Structure 1
Amino acid sequence: MHPSDHVPHEQLLAEARERFEDACDFTVSIEEEFALLDRDTLDLVNRFEEVQAASKGTSLEPNLVGELIASEVEIKTGKQRSFADVPAALAERRAALAALVEPLGLVLGATGTHPWSSWRDQRIIDTPHYRRNDEILRYVVWRNNTFGIHTHVAIRGADRAIRVTSALRNWLPELLAVSASSPFHEGVDTGLHSARTQVFTRFFPRCGVPDALHSWDEHAAYVRFLYETRSIDEATQLWWSVRPHMDFPTVEIRICDGQPDLAEAQSLTALMVSLTARCARAIDEGEPLPEQPRRLIEENLWRAIRFGLSGDLIDLERGDALPARARVERLLEWVRPVADEIGATPWLRLPERNAAERQIGRRAEGASFEEIYAEQIGLTAAAPAERGI
């Protein structure tokens, strides 16, 4: 049962605000979504319930959950005291999950989309939460066969959490560009670097870049409006690409594609957590932060969807376009002081080519979807030392 199923929304809002007021700054939890694949064909297979059953009694059991479709599994790091503990937790969870599914004849995929399996062949898991989403969204949710990585960072203070959320809006395109890993979808070379974002963010209601808000009261007024107009019946039905999470005192970044490479997952989460903490520090110290209109951030978001790290992003303050890599390098420099503080600096790096660029490059060389995806599966399963990292 979802926590909000039988609790009046006013009580939910009051309890959520209290949790934020009592939060411990910059604790972290990461969620990674993986495709469940037949080992021989690499097709998506509807076997989540078997994986969940196999986890019983293991260290993965409390950290393994379903995520919409039965050909998908999500693992969580659980609450980590600081980012310094996150990289090892990510590696441990991935290794444990790979070992868990191997005897079942399964392997894991972690690109943002599956290159060829059809949404028509995927089954929505039988839980109250996902049955409700199916009832509400129908075709919209059926098509959402996508895989992402979500980062939760605790922020103390309800008003401060809303301001951090609003600040993070400005850099969603940079985060997506770094993470892009899904150029192929349902047997199509889409020409995009993140087909996942186009499928999920452009389909779902209350998704993508939110409006800028400045206080908890503003956020609560909007949530109250949605409940009272029967637009939502769970707070998680705000599917924004960055949101304050009502059940945890965290700001959750949800824009990023899944990462087939462990080292790149560690680096990406280092950037997301450092950026969140840097925004909080700027707010504390009165440092001016941009507040760009949603329509301008959306221009950059489209560029990130289409071209990823290979294209340009607009400097919205100056009004000119720069290579996406240059924009991200500037961002890395801006967050570095706080990254030092939270133990993230050793993990901050920009890949020579991200997952989308690698796959697109292999396609240009004439490789098939099957060959390319098999290479990504190798990255998902291999230990860093085996890949020369």
Structure 2
Amino acid sequence: MGDEQRVPYDQLLREARERFDTGKDFTVAVEEEFALLEAESLDMVNRYEDVVAAAEGLPVRDSLAGELIASEIEIKTGRVESFVDVPATIAERRDQLVALVEPLGLVLGATGSHPWASWKDQRIIDTPHYRRNDEILRYVVWKNNTFGFHAHVGVQGADRAIRVTSAMRNWLPELLALSASSPFAESVNTGLHSARTQIFTRFFPRCGVPDAFDSWADYERYVRFLYETRSIDEHTQLWWSVRPHLAFPTVEIRICDAQPDLGESQALAALCVSLVARVARALDDGEPIVHQPHRLIEENMWRAIRYGLSGELIDLEHGEVLPARARIERLLEWVAPVASEIGASEWLRVPEQNAAERQIARFAEGSGLAEIYGDLVVRPSRVA
């Protein structure tokens, strides 16, 4: 179970607030989730424990984590003090993981969903945390064979972190549209650009777009309510697409699909960190950021799930409908000054096609799912 099983939740909340208040701005940690695949068939295989055993005694061991099912593994950059070092760290971690799994006859899948694997064939890993999730969620958690990209960004000040989290809700659809990589699932072309988001955020409780909170006290009242009503027994059971992380003084962005392409993973990290930094700067300077209503953000979320970077998004401030690429290009312009300050500028870009668009185009040309997926397995960055 989580730390809160060893300490009362009131102590957990007090210590979390202290960590935020004494934290540091714009530190970064990136977490990437990968499918473990049999090298020839590209089928998902329950080999997590084998990978961990192979990592014992190696530097990469501390960067590995289990993530629900035994056919999945997460690798973490760990806390990086400045964004300048993040792109190289992402590449290094990917190389370490590829080197670890190759001798085991495995390769790594990094799209938001596996094109044909059945959830019925996947095994929940045997840890107290995931056994508890299995007990609570049952079918909901069994179906969640999805793979994401998470970015933790340090924000100093508990009240400030809550305000940044609330403001970040507005741009979750843009981040999803840019990162969409999962058009295929359960052996079909789903017609979506992010089947992962539909599976995860529409299935799990306390998931997707959170409410806006005005202060730490406002947020803490809600978390206390959940504990006191026995709705949760771990703080990680708030599975929102953006959340303040109580174990770290970070705002965690969780909306993005996994990225098969290293360069696009690095670019996505750059945008996530730059956006958090730009929002924090706006709040510091008194620049107004409207908390858009949940129902309107959800309109854009559906557009991002269904059409991704190929579709349109609504400028909720002006009621204007724009191509998703244009919305994201405007976002890049808005974050540009702060991106320059933190060393992220050179990494910000919108690709001609993102991972979902490339897969959909190849499917339309007649390529099969195995052929398309096979070209997306993660390879060492030194030869990518």
1:358 maps to 2:358: yes
What is the alpha-carbon distance in structure 2 between the residues aligned to residue 200 and residue 290 of structure 1?
27
1:372 maps to 2:369: no
- Checking the alignment, whether the CA contact within 8 Å between 2:148 and 2:258 is kept in structure 1 is yes
What is the alpha-carbon distance in structure 2 between the residues aligned to residue 201 and residue 345 of structure 1?
31
What is the alpha-carbon distance in structure 2 between the residues aligned to residue 297 and residue 60 of structure 1?
39
Alignment of 1:260-339 (within 5 A): 260-339=260-339
> Deviations 1:179-210 (Å, cap 9, x if unpaired)?
00000001010000000000000000000000
CA RMSD, 1 decimal: 0.8
1:175 is aligned with what amino acid? L
- Checking the alignment, whether the CA contact within 8 Å between 2:94 and 2:380 is kept in structure 1 is no
What is the alpha-carbon distance in structure 2 between the residues aligned to residue 128 and residue 122 of structure 1?
18
- Checking the alignment, whether the CA contact within 8 Å between 2:98 and 2:380 is kept in structure 1 is no
What is the alpha-carbon distance in structure 1 between the residues aligned to residue 37 and residue 225 of structure 2?
41
What is the alpha-carbon distance in structure 2 between the residues aligned to residue 133 and residue 350 of structure 1?
36
What is the alpha-carbon distance in structure 1 between the residues aligned to residue 314 and residue 346 of structure 2?
28
Match of 2:379 among 374, 378, 381: 381
Q: What 5-or-longer segments of structure 1 have no aligned partner?
A: none
What is the alpha-carbon distance in structure 2 between the residues aligned to residue 64 and residue 123 of structure 1?
18
- Checking the alignment, whether the CA contact within 8 Å between 2:94 and 2:381 is kept in structure 1 is no
- Checking the alignment, whether the CA contact within 8 Å between 2:153 and 2:252 is kept in structure 1 is yes
What is the alpha-carbon distance in structure 2 between the residues aligned to residue 61 and residue 331 of structure 1?
37
1:227 maps to 2:264: no
1:60 partner SS: helix
> Deviations 1:15-68 (Å, cap 9, x if unpaired)?
000000000111000000000000010000000000001111111111101000
What is the alpha-carbon distance in structure 1 between the residues aligned to residue 2 and residue 144 of structure 2?
21
Match of 1:93? 93
What is the alpha-carbon distance in structure 2 between the residues aligned to residue 314 and residue 298 of structure 1?
11
2:318 is aligned with what amino acid? R
Q: What's the CA shift for 1:5?
A: 1.4
Q: What's the CA shift for 1:382?
A: 4.5
What is the alpha-carbon distance in structure 1 between the residues aligned to residue 290 and residue 34 of structure 2?
34
Match of 2:238? 238
What is the alpha-carbon distance in structure 2 between the residues aligned to residue 128 and residue 49 of structure 1?
15
What is the alpha-carbon distance in structure 2 between the residues aligned to residue 298 and residue 375 of structure 1?
33
TM-score normalised per structure 1: 0.98
Match of 1:11? 11
Match of 1:251? 251
1:243 partner SS: strand
1:145 partner SS: coil
What is the alpha-carbon distance in structure 1 between the residues aligned to residue 321 and residue 111 of structure 2?
28
2:257 partner SS: coil
2:350 partner SS: coil
Q: What's the CA shift for 1:383?
A: 2.7
Match of 2:151? 151
What is the alpha-carbon distance in structure 1 between the residues aligned to residue 214 and residue 24 of structure 2?
21
Q: What's the CA shift for 1:247?
A: 0.4
Alignment of 1:147-186 (within 5 A): 147-186=147-186
1:3 is aligned with what amino acid? D
2:69 is aligned with what amino acid? I
What is the alpha-carbon distance in structure 2 between the residues aligned to residue 122 and residue 311 of structure 1?
33
Q: What's the CA shift for 1:3?
A: 1.1
Match of 2:118? 118
Match of 2:344? 344
Match of 1:33? 33
What is the alpha-carbon distance in structure 2 between the residues aligned to residue 58 and residue 382 of structure 1?
18
2:352 is aligned with what amino acid? E
What is the alpha-carbon distance in structure 2 between the residues aligned to residue 286 and residue 185 of structure 1?
44
2:239 is aligned with what amino acid? W
What is the alpha-carbon distance in structure 1 between the residues aligned to residue 369 and residue 5 of structure 2?
42
What is the alpha-carbon distance in structure 2 between the residues aligned to residue 88 and residue 267 of structure 1?
12
Q: What's the CA shift for 1:320?
A: 1.9
2:273 is aligned with what amino acid? V
> Deviations 1:108-127 (Å, cap 9, x if unpaired)?
00000000000000000000
Match of 2:106? 106
Q: How many residues align?
A: 384
> Deviations 1:83-133 (Å, cap 9, x if unpaired)?
111000000000010000000000000000000000000000000000000
Following superposition, which runs of at least 4 residues in structure 1 exceed 3 angstroms of deviation?
none
2:196 is aligned with what amino acid? R
